[in-house]
Amino acid sequence: MSTKDEILQRLRSNTREQYTMPDFSQLTPITFDDPVAEFKKKTTTIAGAKLLEMKAGDSLDAIVRQAYPDAKVIASNLPGVEAQLNPDSATVEELERVDVGVIEGKIGVAENACIWIPQTMKERAICFASQQLVIVLRADGIVNNMHEAYDRIAASGDYFQQYKFGTFISGPSKTADIESALVYGAQAARGVTVVLQ
């Protein structure tokens, strides 16, 4: 028996009262007339991220360089980005000194500005250790709510084929636990820019 199974067995044996799950069949998830417009609005307000829109003919590398002109170390495995480090070949230690990480998001959620990031690189540290994070997202990947996002994740088996990991990210890392002072970059990137294609 694994440690996990042993812990779960102990928890089950000490459960005194059990409650049935509520009936969610009547739940109507939130929808929007224009999910893309709602996602844009929530990204820049609630999530606290920057939003840049990519037009036909724009260079992703030029957009990143213009947004972060002082960046010395850029990490990415996306085509069209001239990066000094590739998270498919770099070590975690190397990725700790990244100024800007450029990654791809697959699903954007209009209700809360979360973006689903499946691990499409060997070292996922790029998502959390970069000082600034750029997430490239296609507009046709935006859904209304988390229900639709999870349905889309479940329908697409390819999100977990190689690395079996994914996460939702919405905006820069922040906390106000310490003396009620808001601190950015406490657990991950200090800033997030969403590049909408």
Number of domains the chain is built from? 1
CB burial of 154-187 (b: ≥16 within 10 Å; e: otherwise) equals eeeeebeeeeeebebbbbbbeeeeeeeeeeeeee
Instruction: Answer whether residue 54 is part of any domain.
Output: yes
CA–CA distance, 175 with 183 (Å, rounded to integer): 5
Instruction: Answer whether residue 2 is part of any domain.
Output: no
Q: Is the pLDDT of residue 79 over 80?
A: yes
> 144 - beta bridge partners?
none
Instruction: Answer whether residue 6 is part of any domain.
Output: no
CA–CA distance, 87 with 123 (Å, rounded to integer): 5
Lowest mean pLDDT among 61-75, 91-105, 169-183: 169-183
DSSP per residue over 12-31, as a string?
HHT-----PPP--TT-----
Instruction: Answer whether residue 118 is part of any domain.
Output: yes
pLDDT digits (tens, 9 = 90+) for 159-170: 666 667 889 998
For residue 133, what is the domain's CATH number? 3.40.50.10420
Span 118-138, mean pLDDT?
90
pTM for this one?
0.81
By residue count, the chain amounts to 197
Tell me the two tokens of residue 183: 């601190």
When the pLDDT of each residue in the chain is averaged and rounded to a whole number, the result is 87
Instruction: Answer whether residue 8 is part of any domain.
Output: no
Question: pLDDT-based confidence at 69, cuts 50/70/90?
Answer: very high
Span 104-131, mean pLDDT?
91
Instruction: Answer whether residue 15 is part of any domain.
Output: no
Question: Of residues 25 and 42, which shows the higher confidence score?
Answer: 42
Instruction: Answer whether residue 157 is part of any domain.
Output: yes
Report yes or no: 73 and 85 within 8 Å, Cβ to Cβ.
Answer: yes
Distance of CA 176 to the CA centre of its chain: 21
Instruction: Answer whether residue 149 is part of any domain.
Output: yes
| Residue 37: predicted pLDDT | 96
Give the range of the structural domain holding residue 55, as residue numbers without chain letter: 30-196
Percent of the chain with pLDDT over 90: 46
Q: Is the pLDDT of residue 126 over 70?
A: yes
